[in-house]
Structure 1
Amino acid sequence: MIKKIKSIGNLAVFKGFEWDSNVRNNGGAADTFKDINIIYGRNYSGKTSLSRIIRALEMGRISDKYNNPEFCVKFSDKEVTQNNLTSHGKKIRVFNEDFIKENLKFIVHQDDGIQSFAILGENNNIVETEIQTIEDELGKKEQGQETGLYAKRVQVISSYDDAKIVWDNAKRALDKQLSDKATDRKNGIKYQSERFGDQNYNVQKLSNDIREVLSESYKELSLEEIEQFRKLSLEKALDEFSIIELPKIRLSNFVEKTEKLVAKKISSSNKIEELVKNAILNRWVNEGRSYHKDKLSNCAFCGTLISEERWKELDRHFDKESKILEDDIDSLIVDIESEKKSFSLLKVDKSKFYSKFHKTLDIIQTDLEEIIGKYDLILDSLIDQLKERKANILTEKDFINPNKDVEDLKVIWTSYLNIKKESTEFSKQLLNEQKHAKDKLRLNEISNFLEIIKYQDQVANIKALSIKVVENENKKISIDEIISQKEQLIKTKKAELRDEEKGADKVNELLKNFFGHHYLSLQPITNKSGVRFEVIRDDKKAYHLSEGECSLLAFCYFMAKLEDIDTKGSKPIIWIDDPISSLDSNHIFFIYSLINEKIVNNHIFGQLFISTHNLDFLKYLRKVDGKFLNASGKHQNYQKEYFLISRVNDTSKISIMPKYLKEYVTEFNYLFHQIYKCSVIEVIDDSNYITFYNFGNNARKFFEIYLYYKYPDKGMTEETLNLFFDGDNIPALLTDRINNEYSHLCGVFERGSSPVEVPEMQIAAKRIITKLSADREQFIGLLKSVGEDTSNISSASEV
């Protein structure tokens, strides 16, 4: 159903028209088209322009004579513009002058025929029964009222749509999770390149990684591996460094020397016996000797003079051999201590290595400390034996050999050096190694992500839902094919019934039964180009048809064509543009009867539009009414609305028809209302100046009607105007002047180029209204007929 002509721009007399701004009901809300729509407009107001918009929707094209036309027609379910004329999918049939020119060319070129059409032929009961059976199976196609296969298709489409929505939602939800994981600014992998290694990461790359994570070859990382890769991913390139060489291990040399010094014998001749026997006393005396020799002559302990003989005796006891042995012992101890110190400097510095080597370095460090500690104990045992011999320098000792070696120290230090080489090589491959680490961390992250969102469950669910979509889609395709085949079968069978002659008979039937026209008829003529209709009068081709005959024939042709095989049963949107032209009142009534009986009462339309300029026809159209069976099987009235097309200068607009024109359809009521409005206007502005502009014509026509019925023997004359104003010549002359000068110019050409003299027009309008109000009952009736308030009118003097 067409709800409104939403907008029209640059199309004939419609320029910048907006429906919602103009077509408003009494409540101020925008109104819409209904089931039946009556449109009134004077000639040249734009009725045919509207019908051409609707015919463009029927034909899929609009006249190229319009310069960049724009319009928007709003249907119940979509909007159609000049750019998508055929997208509405509705069946539309329009009667206007373009329809006549295209189908009844003989009206313009009398040697041309009339476009033929076929309706269902007679005596084809079997085929018609077959068609009816198929149509019953197909059911009704009207939106919201489908039955049969059409109803089943609606159900299938609904099931398909529901399944697709569920599938779409599930897929969209998973896609959103994947998209966020890949590229979300807060948590997306793309924005964690320092950890996962790809600043250009996207959903496609995530999909590739998911495939790898789900493959059989993928192995999950341990916590230790994760930490290792995490540290590696954060590594900075380290500077080159050197490691001290392992000192030479001199243990065997120290053992050998210690053994010699500890076991060395000192000659006992010239020794002081008591000192030889007492090592402590010997050491004490030797130390005292060093304090006194060449320094003191008396003993610092007892004060006794130390004799020369005693000094010689002591020198013989502490001879050169003993001194040399002591010095050798001291020297060897210093060497051993130096050895200990040099090996104590051997340390593993992890800070100079990449984190991947730290675990191995910890092991090396532990082994190194252990072996160095072992070496220290061996060296300390040698030093202890040397010190013990020195303390008893005169007595040789048995050497205790540690019988241990520390050659493993070389192996450990070699391992350290090898790690250093590996670290140097690793520096060269750091970027590749970090990329590998970040790839591993990224895959681990994705693995955890998939587990959190239950990815495989979602994929399985989406797959199951997609199968349902495909199943429902196949059902949809299947029923569409079935319906299409049956619709095509109907067309094929109807083609068997095509009968152009019956099309002509249908037009003749309407001409005869509704108009009693026995003189004109259509006759099918077959030639090389097919079948054409010719207009026949007195068994001969008719020429020079009157305008009224052309109008009758054209409309009967249109009505008959509503029963052609392309239209019948489709309940189209029907637009009839001003079918009344040069027809007498009888024919006007028959046109109305034909519309009411054949279209409305037979319910062959989906929506009906009728436009006219004729007030008599408009009066009949008020009676167009009817009921239809709704989806519940109950009778329901067609909704009906009235519209007015009005033109000011070169621009037209559509509005709701005024009550007086809709309910009291006579020109007399309209003219009275225009005079009344002129009499009561207080301020002249753009919204009402037209009332004064048209006052001359309106007043003249009003008096022609009013005075004709009051003085049927004279009509409107100077005498009857004086009689109307009770013999008062002044208002009569004033009114006559306005009627003539302002409606005809009456030879005063400059009047047409001068402003309208509002004061004298309003004076004349007031005098006319005052005179009419003298007949109170008629006056109140006139006011009510045009929707004016009469509650304050009690006498003529109050008007």
Structure 2
Amino acid sequence: MSPQISKTTYNKSDFKKEISHAAALQEIDVTQLKKTLETEELFVNTVEWKHVNYSAYLKSTNEILKSKVEEKNRIKRLQNNQQRINFAEEGMRIHKHQSGEICAFCGNAISEETFQELESYFSADEVAVLKNRIVEGKKKVSQLSSLIISMKWTQAAFYPEYQETAGNILDDLVAHKKIILSFCDALEDALESKEKNLFSELDELDIEVPEDFDFSSYNSLVKNNKEYGASLATKKREAQEKLRYNMIYKLLGQFKYDVKCVQMNDVRKTFKNVKEEFDKKVGQQADLEADIQNLNDQIDALKPKAEVQAIKNINKRLQGVVPWQLTGLMEHPYEK
């Protein structure tokens, strides 16, 4: 039988001893106990989580969104228009910074003076500072997102007894993980948008700040799981016993053990009554045999006396008639 629920030498004597322990189990309990027997030792660690101040992330992001670069070297043709500025910056990125480079948009040669003018415009201290702030902000948000994404929990790391509880806790953690990642995505999207709008203020993000992770329930369950693992051998033995007692209960039911016990008790009572009557008759027989034996003994005791008297009576009658007499136990007078 799989899983094994008894010793390999289990026999009818063991079965008989355990009949009194027979107990029915619900199917869900049977399934869980079988999982316990099939379970190998599992390992899962608590989560060490450093508190995250999400409000600070939102505050820093909004400060960047409200910041803007004041043009010191104004380029009239850009008209302080963010789309034109973005277009010019993209052009700086895709073209070689050398005199005579052909513009991919208009087809005209780009002068060295134009490159110098734009380089000076986009490399201004204020521009560089804001860009660095955005890059640093995106980096921190990305690191937070990566840390949260890297957190993996698995229900399978818990023993059968804790599977359901673990599933509920992990569902809550995964749901909260999505909330925090959505918050991070909103910050990153806003910062990326700001990269394209260095010279104008953007509206602040008006989003709900998520609560931090609460791993107290999870860590408590991990502790219970570890303690269970430490006593797994005992748990398996208990599971074997319960499953065996459940199987005994089923077998007794199939055999109609209760009915058979009633029938057996009735037969035993009948046998007892018959035996008592039989023993009584045997006793009476013994008494009769004793009486017979006593009478036989009395008869045997009387035999010699009767015989002697009979010989005397015969000899008396033969006296004077024959020359011999009877002696002993009717011996023939000529047998000598």
Question: Are the aligned partners of 2:3 and 2:38 in contact in 1 as well (CA < 8 Å)?
Answer: yes
Aligned: 1:469 with 2:271: yes
SS in 2 for 1:410: coil
Q: 2:25 aligns with which of 221, 233, 252?
A: 221
Q: 1:250 to 1:520 in 2, by over 3 A?
A: farther
TM-score with structure 1 length normalisation? 0.37
Relative to total residues, which structure has the larger helix share, 1 or 2?
A: 2
Aligned: 1:420 with 2:222: yes
Aligned: 1:308 with 2:110: no
Aligned: 1:505 with 2:306: yes
1:143-191 Cα shifts (integer Å, max 9, x gaps)? xxxxxxxxxxxxxxxxxxxxxxxxxxxxxxxxxxxxxxxxxxxxxxxxx
Pairing of 1:128-527 with structure 2 (within 5 A): 195-199=4-8, 201-213=10-22, 218=23, 220-238=24-42, 242=45, 245-246=48-49, 248-268=51-71, 270-272=73-75, 275=78, 278-292=81-95, 294-301=97-104, 302-306=107-111, 308=113, 311-312=116-117, 315-316=120-121, 319-350=124-155, 352-407=157-212, 409-411=213-215, 414-489=216-291, 494=295, 498=299, 500-505=301-306
Cα RMSD after superposing both structures: 3.8
1:638-664 Cα shifts (integer Å, max 9, x gaps)? xxxxxxxxxxxxxxxxxxxxxxxxxxx
Q: What displacement does 1:349 show?
A: 3.9
Paired residue type of 1:226 = V
1:175-213 Cα shifts (integer Å, max 9, x gaps)? xxxxxxxxxxxxxxxxx6962243454444433321122
Paired residue type of 1:465 = V
Q: 1:330 to 1:296 in 2, by over 3 A?
A: farther
Q: 1:363 to 1:508 in 2, by over 3 A?
A: same
Q: What displacement does 1:459 show?
A: 0.7
Provide the C-alpha distance between the structure 2 equivalents of 1:458 and 1:206, rounded to a whole number of angstroms: 17
Question: Are the aligned partners of 1:347 and 1:365 in contact in 2 as well (CA < 8 Å)?
Answer: no
Pairing of 1:573-612 with structure 2 (within 5 A): none
Q: What displacement does 1:488 show?
A: 4.2
Question: Are the aligned partners of 1:343 and 1:372 in contact in 2 as well (CA < 8 Å)?
Answer: yes
Q: 1:386 to 1:193 in 2, by over 3 A?
A: closer
Paired residue type of 1:327 = N
Question: Are the aligned partners of 1:197 and 1:435 in contact in 2 as well (CA < 8 Å)?
Answer: no
Paired residue type of 1:306 = S
Q: 1:495 to 1:291 in 2, by over 3 A?
A: closer
Which 4+ residue blocks in structure 1 deviate beyond 6 angstroms? none
Question: Are the aligned partners of 2:99 and 2:110 in contact in 1 as well (CA < 8 Å)?
Answer: no
Q: 1:505 to 1:280 in 2, by over 3 A?
A: same
Provide the C-alpha distance between the structure 1 equivalents of 2:308 and 2:3, rounded to a whole number of angstroms: 86
Provide the C-alpha distance between the structure 1 equivalents of 2:314 and 2:84, rounded to a whole number of angstroms: 173
TM-score with structure 2 length normalisation? 0.80
Question: Are the aligned partners of 1:193 and 1:199 in contact in 2 as well (CA < 8 Å)?
Answer: no
Provide the C-alpha distance between the structure 1 equivalents of 2:35 and 2:157, rounded to a whole number of angstroms: 15
Question: Are the aligned partners of 1:354 and 1:423 in contact in 2 as well (CA < 8 Å)?
Answer: yes
Provide the C-alpha distance between the structure 2 equivalents of 1:241 and 1:508, rounded to a whole number of angstroms: 116
Paired residue type of 1:437 = A
Pairing of 1:684-763 with structure 2 (within 5 A): none
Deviates more, 1:332-341 or 1:497-506: 497-506
1:122-154 Cα shifts (integer Å, max 9, x gaps)? xxxxxxxxxxxxxxxxxxxxxxxxxxxxxxxxx
Provide the C-alpha distance between the structure 2 equivalents of 1:306 and 1:337, rounded to a whole number of angstroms: 39
SS in 1 for 2:25: coil
Question: Are the aligned partners of 2:55 and 2:209 in contact in 1 as well (CA < 8 Å)?
Answer: no
Q: 1:227 to 1:508 in 2, by over 3 A?
A: same
The count of residues paired between Structure 1 and Structure 2 equals 328
Q: 1:360 to 1:294 in 2, by over 3 A?
A: same
Equivalent residue for 1:69?
Answer: none
SS in 1 for 2:4: helix
Paired residue type of 1:263 = K
Provide the C-alpha distance between the structure 1 equivalents of 2:48 and 2:21, rounded to a whole number of angstroms: 48
Q: 1:309 to 1:364 in 2, by over 3 A?
A: closer
Provide the C-alpha distance between the structure 1 equivalents of 2:133 and 2:8, rounded to a whole number of angstroms: 72
Structure with the larger RCO, 1 or 2 (CA within 8 Å, 6+ apart): 2
1:704-746 Cα shifts (integer Å, max 9, x gaps)? xxxxxxxxxxxxxxxxxxxxxxxxxxxxxxxxxxxxxxxxxxx
Q: What displacement does 1:288 show?
A: 1.3
Q: What displacement does 1:281 show?
A: 2.2
Question: Are the aligned partners of 1:270 and 1:317 in contact in 2 as well (CA < 8 Å)?
Answer: no
1:82-106 Cα shifts (integer Å, max 9, x gaps)? xxxxxxxxxxxxxxxxxxxxxxxxx
SS in 2 for 1:363: helix
Q: Which runs of 5+ in 2 are unaligned?
A: 318-323
1:201-257 Cα shifts (integer Å, max 9, x gaps)? 4444433321122xxxx5x3222211121121233445x665663355352232121
Provide the C-alpha distance between the structure 1 equivalents of 2:2 and 2:307, rounded to a whole number of angstroms: 82
Q: What displacement does 1:473 show?
A: 1.0
SS in 2 for 1:266: coil
Paired residue type of 1:284 = F
Paired residue type of 1:329 = I
Relative to total residues, which structure has the larger strand share, 1 or 2?
A: 1
Question: Are the aligned partners of 2:155 and 2:170 in contact in 1 as well (CA < 8 Å)?
Answer: no
Q: Which runs of 5+ in 1 are unaligned?
A: 1-191, 522-536, 554-581, 585-799
